[in-house]
Amino acid sequence: MIRHLHRLVPQPGLLLRLGALTAVQAVLQGLLLGSLIPILRALLRPEPDFGAAAPWLVAAAAGLVVYGVLTVIATPVGFAASSDLAGQLRRRLIDHSASLPLGWFTPEHKARLARATTADAANIGNLAVSIGGPAITATLTPLTIIGVTVAVDWRVALLFAVIMPVALLALRRAGRIASIADVELEQAAADIAGRAIELGQAQPVLRAAGQSSTGTARMREALDEHRTVYRRGLRRSMAPDLTYTGVIMAGFVAILVVSALLLLDGTLGVAEVVALLVLAVRFLEPLGNLVELIGALHAMDNAVGRVRALLATPPLPEADRPVTELPGTSVELSGVTFTYPGGSTPALAGVSFTCAPGSTTAIVGPSGSGKTTVTRLIARFFDPQEGSIRIGGVDVRELDQRTLLDSIAVVFQDVYLFDDTIEENLRLAKPDATDAELAEAARAARLDEVVERLPEGWHTRVGEGGSRLSGGERQRVSIARAFLKQARIVLIDEAASALDPENERAVSQAIARLAADRGRTVLVIAHRPATLDAADHVLTLHNGHVAEAGTPAGLRATGGLFARLYDQYDHARSWRLDRESATEVG
Amino acid sequence: MTITDSRPTTPKPEPATERPSAAAAGLARTGALARLLAPVRAHLVGCAVLSALATAAGFVPYVAVAEIATLALAGGYSPSAIWGWVALGAAGAGLRLVLVFASSRLGHYADARTLHDLRVRMVRHLGSLPLGWFRANGSASVKKRMTNDLEEMHQLIAHALGELVGATTAVALGLFYLASVNPVMTLVTAGSLALLGISYRIAMRSMTLHMNRLLAAESRISAASVEYADGIGVVKAFGTGGRVLERFGEAVREQAAALAAWADETRYSTAASRLLASEMALLGILGAAGLALVHAGQLSMTELLPFLVVGIGLPTSINPAIHGTQTLRKGRVCAQNIEALLGMEPLPEPSRPLSPEGSRLELDRVTFSYDGHTDAVRDVSAVCEPGTITALVGPSGAGKSTMASLIPRFYDVTGGAIRLGGVDVRDMAASTLLSSMSLVFQDVMLLRDTVTENLRIGNPGATDDEVRAAARAAQIHDVIERLPDGYNTVLGDGGGLSGGERQRLTIARAILSRAPIVVLDEATASLDPDSETAVHSALSRLIAGKTVIVIAHRLHTIAGADQILVLEDGRLVERGTHHDLIEAGGRYARMWAAQQNGDPA
C-alpha cells in the first residue's frame, strides 16, 4: 500500500514530514510509557522515594512537552499534506488523461476519470493522513515498548513480541475477507441501483402490467439477493473480525497469567510486575484499536487501485522525430484494419481509399458499418492494428500531435460546448481571432442568425455542455470553429437524427460552404440526400469493408448498396403516418 | 479533528419538487429516523444493550490488572486471590468476545431487514406516485433514494449505534470505577475529558462555514473534471485546454486554500483537542496531579495505579463516539429524505374504479398548470374517435407533450376532464387506464429482463407464437434471433441493441398488448435513418385500427392524420385536416411552408 502510494505521488514532501513527525511521536510515546518502569520502581515502595524518581520525572516532563509541541507542529502539516496529496493526484490524473488517445474517452471511462479526480483523490488525501498516523503509532509504539521491556524482563518482552505479529496477521486476514464480502455486496448493490433506474424509467409499463406496487419479479429478487449476500458476507467476515479481537483478548489473558506467575514465584520485584502490567495495557490498547482502521484501509486500497489503473493506461505513442509540417492535404488509408479495445470483430478490415486534396468525400453505410471509425482513425483517436493512414503522404503516427490536430477540424454529431459564452467557445479554435474573423466564421457557418437571436448575443452563456442551444445550433458552432481555425482537413459526422427543418437547412448549407473551398479536404459521414449529391466522391462501407466507391450519380445508377441507402434516406424523409399505409398484423 | 467526511457531494442540486425544505429538515430530525427504525426497535435496543454489556465485560481485564497490582503492592496476598482476578479477567475477555458477536449479529440482522423492508416500501410507494414525478425527477433520484440514502442508514444501524453505545458505556464505567478508587483524581480525569470536549467544540465551531466552502470547491473540481472529460475532443483538437484547465487548477487551488484557511483558523484548538485526545496528555495530567497528591500524602501509589491503567485510555475510547455522531447526523438527513419520499402524496386512486366502454377519447376543456400560476395547457377540447389519427403540432413549448402526458395521467388535469370510453380517467384504476394505451416515447422503457419478458409484460397470457408474431410485425424478430440467447437474452444497460432496435422492441410490446390507444411522442426523432425506416414500418403495423395521438415536429409525417390540432402557448389555435389547414392559410400553413422550404427532400 505504502509502495503504491509512493509511486502515485511524485513529491511526497509533506506526507514524509508528517510521517516523520508521527514516527518521532510514536517512539516518544513508547519511551514515555517506558519511563513508568523506573518511576514506579522508585515510588512503589512503602515510602515513595521521590529523590530516586526525580531525574526520570524531569525527563518524562520534558518528553511530554516535546510531545505536545510536536502535536501542535504536526496538526497543520496533516491538513496541508492531505490537500497537497489530493491536489497532486488530481493534477497528475488530468495531465495523464491529456496524453491518452481520444478514443479512450468513452462515457464509462469519463465517469471513472471524474470519480478519480474528485472523490478518490480527496479520499486518498484524507485517508493517507487519517490512517497513516494511527498505523505508524500502532506499529512503532508497541515496538518501542517491546524494546523497553527487554531491559526489564525478557520473558515478558518475548510475550509482547509474539502477540504483535499474530495480531497483525489476524488483522490482515480480517481485512482481506472483509474486502471479498464488500465486493460481493457492491455487486448486489449495483444490481439494486440498476433495478431502481429501471423502476423509474419503466414505471408506466410496470403500472400498465399491474406491477407498479411490487416492481418486477427481478426487482424483488434483487432485493432478496442483496439481503442474502449481506447476511452471508456478514457471517463470513464475522469470524476473522472476532479472531482479531480474540487475539487481543487472549494476549491480555496471557499477560495476566504470566504476570501472576512472575509475581508468585518471586523472580521479579512487585514494582516491576506492576509497572509491566501497566505497560502491557498500553501495549495492547493501540493494537486493539487498529480494528477500526480496517474499513478505512479497505476504502483507501480501492481508491488507490482505481487511480493507479487510470494512470497505468498507456498514452498515445509519440514518434521519436515527429513531422511538424504537413506537406499536403490528401488523406489516404491503405489496408487499415482496426478492432476496438475489448472488441472481438474488427470494426474496419482492410480498408483502402484516397481522398484527393481539396475534394469532398461522403461516407455512407448502414449503422455499424465503420463510418465513424474511419474518421476516428484519421484524427488518431486510436491507431489501427494493421495498415496505415497518411495525410499529405505522411503516416499520422509520424506526425506531431499538435500539427495533426491543428490541421484537422472534427465536427462531431453531438457537439459538446463549454459552459462559457458563445464567443469563448468559438475562440477556442483561434484565441487571437479578431472580431471581424469571428463574424466572418459565424456568417459562413450560419451561426450569425443564432447569435442574433440570443438574448446577450456573443456574450450569451451556452449552459452546461451547451444545453441552451439545440443540437443543430451546437453543430453550427462547431462548423464555425472549423472555418475560424482554417483547418485544411475537416471531418464531419452529419447529424443522423432529424433536426428541425430550419437547422437542417442551415447545417447543410454550412457543410456545403466548407466543402466549396478547394483548399480544404472534407470527409463527411452523410445521411441526407442533399449532402450526398454534393459530394465529389462517395465511399460505401459495409461491415467494415469498402463496398462501393464512385461518384454519387454513378453509384445510384448501379442500384447497389448506395442506391438502396439513398432511397432509404429519402423514404425516411417522406414517410407519413396514416391509416391507409397502416398494415394489420397478420 | 477529522476531515474524512469531506466527500464531494453531487454537484447537481436536488430537484425542487420534493417538498420538505432543508429548513424543515432541521426541525423534526430524530423523528423521521425513529419512525423508520420503529419496526426493528427491539433488535436495536437489544444490540445496544449487548454492546454496552460487551464493553463492560471488556472492562473487567483492566480492573483485574489494577486489582492484581493493588494486591501485590499491599503485600501478604494469597495466590488464590491473584488467580481469582486472573480468572475473572479471562472470563471478562471471553464474555466480551461472545457479546460483541451477538451484538454485531443483532445489529446487522436489523440492518439487513431495515434495508430490505424500506426498499420494498419505497418500491410500493413509488408505484403510487404521479408518473409525472418520475419525469420531473428522473430515475437517478429514485436510484439515489434506494441506494445512497439507505447506505447511510446502514452505516448508522450496523456501526454507529454500537460505537456510540460502546463509547458511552466505556467512559461511564471507567469514571464510575475510578470514582470508587479516588474521587479527587476522578474529578481531574473528568476535567481533562471536559477540556477535550470544549476544545473539540471550539475547533468545530466554524465547521459548517468551512465545510460549505470546501464542499463548494470540491464540487467545482468535480464539475471542471467532468467538463474536461466531456469536452476532451475539443480540448485536444484546439491544443489548449485553456479556460477549462484553468478552471480545474483554480478549483484545486481553492480547495487547498479553503482547507488551509480552516486549518489556520483552528490551528490551536485543533492541536489542543488532538493533544487532549492522546494517551500522553492524560499520562501527563494524571501523573502530575497524582504524584503531587502522593507527595502531599493525600493519595497512595496504590490508588494512583487504576488511573494509569484505566484513566489514560479513556480519551481513545471516545473516538468511536465522534465518528458515530457524524454518522448519526448523516443518517438523520437521509432518513428525512426517505421519509419525504414515502410521505409524498400518491396519485388519488378511485375508491370504486370504473371501466371504459370503447376507446373514444374525449378532451373536455382540459387545463393544466405545473406551477399553479401559468397554464401549460388551457381549455383544450377535442374528440379522438376510435380508429382515427390525431396529431398535435405547434412550436416547442406549445404544450404538445404536456397534453399527451395528461392522457395516461402522468399528471391530473387542473381543470376540465379527459374521458376514455365515456369514463373520466381519474375514475379508472391506473392499471386499467395504462393497459388500454401504448406509450411510445423517445426515451425507451425497457426492463432489465429477457426479451420475451419485456414483450410479454404488455400481455402476460401471450403465447410464444404471438410474441414472435409481434416481434416480426415490429421488424425486430431477426435482430432478436441474432442475440446470444435469442428471445431469452437478458437486456442490460445498453444490451447490445441500438436505439432504433430498442424502440422497435417497445413497439413490438405495444403490438402484443393490443391496447386500443397509441400515444406517440417524437418516437423517431433521435434515430438514424437506417433505424428510422424500420421503426416507421413497425409503427405502421402498430397503429392499424388504433386510436392514435401523435406529436410531430416534421409536419410531413402527420399530413395524413384525420385531425390536426395546432397548439400555441397551451391553447388550441387551429384544427382540421392537413388539406383544411393549408386552405385556411393560418398558423399551420405557415409552418408547413417554412418546412417545405427548408426540407431538401
Q: How far apart are CA A283 and CA A159, in angstroms?
A: 11
Contact A530 B320 (CB under 8 A): no
For B509, the closest chain A residue by CA position comes to: A205
Q: How far apart are CA A193 and CA B168, in angstroms?
A: 36
Looking at B266-299, list the stretches that DSSP marks H as alpha helix, in order from N- to C-terminal side: 267-276, 279-295
Domain CATH number, residue A457: 3.40.50.300
For A90, the closest chain B residue by CA position comes to: B252
- pLDDT tens-place string over residues B201-247: 888 888 778 888 888 888 888 888 877 877 777 776 665 556 677 78
| Band (B383; pLDDT cuts 50, 70, 90) | very high
Return the C-alpha cell found at A148. Answer: 523497553
Distance (Å) from the alpha carbon of B80 to chain A's nearest alpha carbon: 10
Distance (Å) from the alpha carbon of B275 to chain A's nearest alpha carbon: 6
Interface of A with B in 488-507 (CB under 8 A): 496-498, 500-502, 504-505
CB-CB neighbors (< 8 A) of B227 in chain A: 418-419, 464
Which site among B137, B540, B550, B562 would you substitute to test the A interface, given the most A Cβ atoms closer than 10 Å to its Cβ? B540
Contact B493 A252 (CB under 8 A): no
* DSSP class of A119: I
Task: Give the pLDDT confidence score for residue B502 in this predicted structure.
Answer: 84
Distance (Å) from the alpha carbon of A518 to chain B's nearest alpha carbon: 22
B546: left (phi over 0), alpha (psi -120 to 50) or beta: beta
CB-CB neighbors (< 8 A) of B94 in chain A: 249
Contact A259 B260 (CB under 8 A): no
Amino acid identity of residue B161, one-letter, is L
CB-CB neighbors (< 8 A) of A57 in chain B: 291
N-to-C CA span, chain A? 66
Contact A216 B498 (CB under 8 A): no
Residue A317 falls inside a structural domain: no
CA angle A444, A446, A447 (to 5 degrees): 110
Asked if this assembly's ipTM is beyond 0.85, the reply is no
CB-CB neighbors (< 8 A) of B468 in chain A: none
Q: Are A261 and A344 in the same domain? A: no
CATH topology of domain B361-598: Rossmann fold (3.40.50)
Contact A216 B268 (CB under 8 A): no
Taking CA atoms, A449 is separated from A414, A476, A484, A530, in Å, by 20, 10, 17, 22
Highest mean pLDDT among A409-413, B274-278, B580-584: B580-584
DSSP A469-495: S-HHHHHHHHHHHHHHHT-SEEEEE--
Residue A584 falls inside a structural domain: no
Residue A582 falls inside a structural domain: no
pLDDT tens, chain A, 586 aa long:
556 666 677 677 888 888 899 999 999 999 999 998 889 888 887 788 888 889 999 999 999 999 999 988 888 888 888 888 888 888 888 888 888 887 888 777 888 888 888 888 888 888 888 888 888 888 899 999 999 999 888 888 999 999 988 988 888 888 788 777 777 777 777 778 778 877 777 788 777 776 666 666 777 788 888 888 888 877 777 777 788 888 888 988 998 898 888 888 888 888 888 888 888 888 888 787 777 777 777 778 888 888 888 888 888 888 888 888 888 889 999 999 999 877 778 889 999 999 999 899 999 888 778 888 899 899 888 899 999 999 999 999 998 887 888 888 888 777 778 878 889 888 888 888 899 999 999 998 889 888 888 888 889 888 777 777 877 888 888 889 888 888 889 998 877 666 666 777 788 888 888 888 888 899 998 887 878 888 899 999 988 899 998 888 888 888 888 888 888 877 777 777 777 666 554 4
| Count of domains for chain A | 2
Which site among A127, A256, A412 would you substitute to test the B interface, given the most B Cβ atoms closer than 10 Å to its Cβ? A256
Task: Give the pLDDT confidence score for residue B450 in this predicted structure.
Answer: 86
Domain CATH number, residue A94: 1.20.1560.10
Which of B143, B271, B435 is the closest to A72 by Cβ? Answer: B271
HEC profile for B128-170? CCCHHHHHHHHHHHHHHHHHHHHHHHHHHHHHHHHHHHHHHHH
Query: Is the pLDDT reported for residue B532 higher than 90?
Result: no
Contact between residue B517 and residue B549 where contact means Cβ atoms under 8 Å apart: yes
A92 touches B: beta carbon within 8 Å: no
Query: Is the pLDDT reported for residue B312 higher than 80?
Result: yes
Q: How far apart are CA A293 and CA B319, in angstroms?
A: 12
HEC profile for A428-469? CCCCCCCHHHHHHHHHHCCCHHHHHHCCCHHHCECCHHHCCC
Task: Give the pLDDT confidence score for residue B5 in this predicted structure.
Answer: 34
pTM (2 decimals)? 0.74
Q: Strands B437-441 and A408-411, how do they pair?
A: unpaired
Contact B143 A87 (CB under 8 A): no
CB-CB neighbors (< 8 A) of A79 in chain B: 3, 259-260, 262-263
Return the C-alpha cell found at B599. Answer: 426540407
B438: left (phi over 0), alpha (psi -120 to 50) or beta: beta
Q: Are A230 and A342 in the same domain? A: no
Distance (Å) from the alpha carbon of B440 to chain A's nearest alpha carbon: 11
Task: Give the pLDDT confidence score for residue B382 in this predicted structure.
Answer: 94
DSSP B187-226: HHHHHHHHHHHHHHHHHHTTHHHHHHHHHHHHHHHHHHHH
Contact B271 A130 (CB under 8 A): no
Which residue in A409, A404, A429, A142 sits closest to A287, CA to CA? Answer: A142
Total Cβ atoms within 10 A of residue B390: 21
Total Cβ atoms within 10 A of residue A299: 19
Task: Give the pLDDT confidence score for residue A332 in this predicted structure.
Answer: 93
Q: How far apart are CA B107 and CA B44, in angstroms?
A: 6
The C-alpha torsion from A413 through A414 and A415 to A418, rounded to 10°, is -170
Task: Give the pLDDT confidence score for residue A3 in this predicted structure.
Answer: 60
Contact B539 A416 (CB under 8 A): no
- pLDDT tens-place string over residues B332-355: 888 888 888 888 888 888 889 898
For chain B, the domains span 25-181+318-342, 361-598
CB-CB neighbors (< 8 A) of A500 in chain B: 553
Q: Strands A394-395 and A386-391, how do they pair?
A: antiparallel
Residue A318 falls inside a structural domain: no
* DSSP class of B422: T
Distance (Å) from the alpha carbon of B92 to chain A's nearest alpha carbon: 9
Tally A–B CB contacts below 8 A: 480
Interface of A with B in 29-68 (CB under 8 A): 29, 32-33, 36, 40, 43-44, 48, 50, 57, 60-61, 64, 67-68
Q: Are A474 and A549 in the same domain? A: yes
CB-CB neighbors (< 8 A) of B500 in chain A: 367
Name the percent of chain B lying above pLDDT 90.
Answer: 23
Q: Are A346 and A281 in the same domain? A: no
Task: Give the pLDDT confidence score for residue B9 in this predicted structure.
Answer: 30
Q: Are A398 and A457 in the same domain? A: yes
Q: Are A354 and A302 in the same domain? A: no
- pLDDT tens-place string over residues B106-140: 888 888 888 888 888 888 888 888 888 887 777 77
Q: How far apart are CA A394 and CA A389, in angstroms?
A: 8
Which of B64, B232, B492 is the closest to A105 by Cβ? Answer: B232
| Band (B601; pLDDT cuts 50, 70, 90) | very low
Distance (Å) from the alpha carbon of B32 to chain A's nearest alpha carbon: 23
Contact B89 A416 (CB under 8 A): no
Residue A579 falls inside a structural domain: no
What is the domain extent for residue A64? 2-311
For A120, the closest chain B residue by CA position comes to: B7
Residue A290 falls inside a structural domain: yes
Distance (Å) from the alpha carbon of A75 to chain B's nearest alpha carbon: 6
The CATH number of the structural domain formed by B25-181+318-342 is 1.20.1560.10
Residue A119 falls inside a structural domain: yes
Taking CA atoms, B162 is separated from B103, B106, B172, B323, in Å, by 8, 10, 15, 11
Q: Are A498 and A370 in the same domain? A: yes
Residue A216 falls inside a structural domain: yes
Q: How far apart are CA A291 and CA A286, in angstroms?
A: 10
Return the C-alpha cell found at A48. Answer: 515513595
Q: Are A433 and A305 in the same domain? A: no
Contact between residue A244 and residue A171 where contact means Cβ atoms under 8 Å apart: yes
For A568, the closest chain B residue by CA position comes to: B533
Q: How far apart are CA B364 and CA B386, in angstroms?
A: 16
Q: Which of A311, A343, A365 is the last residue of a domain?
A: A311
DSSP B58-69: HHHHHHHHHHHH
E-only strand ranges, B1-64:
none
CB-CB neighbors (< 8 A) of B559 in chain A: 576, 578
